[in-house]
Amino acid sequence: MNFLTRRSFLHGTTLGTGTALLAPMLQRLAAESAGVAAPRRFVFVVEGNGVNPEQVQPTTFPRRKNAQNQNDTDGLVDVPLAGHELSRAMEPLAEFKDRLTIIQGLSGRICGGGHSNNFGALGCYSSKKGAAGETIDCALAKAVPSLFPRVGLGISDRAEHSIIYNISAWGPDKAAPIQCRPDLAYNELFGSVAQGAGREDFVARGNLLDFMVDDVKRVERTLPAAERERLGNYLGAFESMKHRHSRLNEIQNTLRAKAPVVTDKFRSEVETDRLDAGFDIGTAALIGGLTNVLVLASGCGDPFFSVRFHGLGIPLDKHSIGHGKEHNGRPWDELAITIRRFHFEQMARLAKKLQAVPEGRGTMLDNTVIVYMSDAAESHHSRCWEWPMVVLGNCGGRLKTAGRFLNYPRYGHAAHRTTANFYLTLLEAAGVRRDTFGLSDPNLKDLKLKGPLPELLA
């Protein structure tokens, strides 16, 4: 029997088949039995203000560093995590230790550093150039298409920011948003099953798209043939959005089952609540099959990074913490670790939810990779000599991430590698082979820096 994949199933519903909705779980099983690979999913948890390498280093494996506190490893270190203890910040991920790889020592000097590397962090280019090129999340989104090619959620330092553009881009000057208002994000993704204002927004958006399609067509008819095509793309964009909007209407039953519960957290003044809600919505979007690429950005981008984590009892802003200030006798690093720990707790929660959803012979988590990193590399005033990454999941067996600690050698060493190599590894896992990503570091021109990290590829 020919089962449906979820994607073809979702597509099928838009064709007005009127078929009773199968549970997503059944579809996943169907996909597997039909020999169709489950979608690959990529999640980025990006925390502002840098990841101090010490805070993710296994406590039982001391970091090798020089007098400037920089990575001073001589050659690639590749040891199993088993037998080593996770840092205090990373403890929430303990139960996933056998699916986890901690990567130290990748550099990203081309970004330039600072409080944030902005778009450059995920794009491998200068932090000062705005959206100068495609970022890795968007590159992956093109490789693993879905109804919403990429979903970006997060928080900024100011509660009134509803949407910010600072770390993701589809290409030069094509910034992709980070939605900072959970309620608006919910409406966009789950508006077809929303209540009250959310439902109103969803309906109004549908009307607007209909109106625009009609209007652009009307203008198109008045144009000479050559210019019709120019307007045609604009029309196509509205038609495509309208199509997506219709599909959200048609998969209401699925969405109703998978949509997160709307709570007070959606409009909370407390940052941790809004971030919490963002994780809930993003996870639901993955499980509901709305997207395969999720970015969760916590206080990323200059100048939106100085978040106060009141919800963790830390009224001090992250900028001050970065400058070594203490609060109530708690030193800066303890505050930073507490905040980082919260992010790892969220990441673990997300992983657990995916793990609870069967897919093929395993679970959704098996086909997912979650990357934790900062847009500011290794410190509050980052210089991008090294860029710690924590990687959870193997993306359907395409990555070798089962309990490893990888430390690349110091900057300039022949075996040194950059964040671009890591991103190329993710692209390879998504089925895209490329030699380079973003701009290469001219100071490393003597190194062989093309392609992915072979030691991380299955």
Partner 1 sequence: MPPAAPCRHPKLEPAPTAGLSRVISHRAGEWGRMGSWPLPRKLVPLIAGVILASALSHVHAAQPPATDFNVAVRPFLAQHCTKCHGERKQAGKLALHQLDGSLTSEKSRETWARIAEKLWLGEMPPEDEPRPSPHASGRVASWLTAEFARAGHKLTPPPSLELPGGGNRVSHEALFAASTTPGTPPPATAARLWRVSPQIYDELLRGELGKNARGVTQPFSTLTGEGFKDYAGAFTVDEPTTGLLLRNADAIVAAQTRFSYEAGKFKPAGNTMREFMALLDTNAPPTDVQLRAAIERQFKLVLRRSATAEEQERFLSFARKTMADAGQVTGARTTLAAVLLLPEAIFRSELGAGEPDAHGRRMLSSTELAAALSFALTDRPPDRVLQAALDKGQFAASREAAEREVRRMLADDALVKPRILRFFREFFGYHFATEVFKDDKENKDHEARVLVSDTDRLVEFIVAQDRDVFRELLTTRKAFVNFAVDFKKKTPKRATENKKNFHLAYGLPADWQWTAEQPVELPAGQRAGILTQPSWLVAFSMNFDNHPITRGKWVRERLLGGTVPDLPITVDAQLPNTPEQTLRQRLEVTKAEYCWQCHQRMNPLGLPFEQFDHFGRFRATERVQDKEATAANVDNKGKSRGPVFKEVSLDTRGVVALTGDIRLDGDVTDPLALIQKLAGSERVRQVFVRHAFRYWMGRNETLADAPVLKAADREYVESGGSFKALLVSLLTSDAFLYRVNPSSRAASVSTAPP
* Using rule CB under 8 A, residue 225 touches partner 1: yes
In 278-340, at which residue ranges do the beta strands (DSSP E only) sit?
293-298
DSSP state of 291: -
- Does 74 bind partner 1 (CB under 8 A)? Our answer is no
Among 21, 29, 159, 212, which residue interacts with partner 1 (rule: CB under 8 A)? 212
Q: How many CB atoms lie within 10 A of CB 184?
A: 17
215 CB contacts (<8 Å, ≥6 apart)?
none
The amino acid present at 226, given as its one-letter code, is A
98 binds partner 1 (CB under 8 A): no
The answer to the question of residue 433 lying near partner 1 (CB under 8 A) is no
Sole window of 69-77, 122-130, 272-280, 395-403 interacting with partner 1 (rule: CB under 8 A): 122-130
Beta bridge partners, 391, equal 101, 371
Residue among 17 and 162 whose Cβ is closer to partner 1: 162
Is residue 75 involved in binding partner 1 (CB under 8 A)?
Answer: no
Q: What is the CA radius of gyration of the chain?
A: 22
**Does 434 interact with partner 1 (rule: CB under 8 A)?**
no
3-class DSSP state of 114: strand
Told to check if 159 binds partner 1 by CB under 8 A, we report no
Of 373, 399, 395, 392, which Cα lies nearest the Cα of 384?
373
Surface-to-core class of residue 19, CB atoms within 10 Å of its CB (0-12 exposed, 13-18 middle, 19+ buried): exposed
Query: What type of residue sits at position 429?
Result: A
CB of 433 vs partner 1, minimal distance in Å:
14
Query: In which region does residue 50 sit, left (phi positive, over 0), alpha (psi from -120 to 50) or beta (all else)?
Result: left
Least separation, in Å, of the C-beta of 372 and partner 1?
A: 26
Q: At 420, is the secondary structure helix, strand, or coil?
A: helix
Q: Output 170 or 342, the one with its CB closest to partner 1.
A: 170
| x-marked contacts with partner 1 along 348-387 as a string, rule CB under 8 A | ----------------------------------------
Place of tokens 């860029």: 387
> Can you tell me which of 229, 303, 315, 352 binds partner 1, judged by CB under 8 A?
229
Return the residues of window 239-268 that contact partner 1 according to CB under 8 A.
240-241
Q: Which residues bind partner 1 (CB under 8 A)?
A: 110, 125-126, 129, 160-165, 170-177, 197, 200-201, 203-205, 207-208, 211-212, 215-216, 219, 223-227, 229-234, 236-238, 240-241, 439-440, 442-443, 445-446
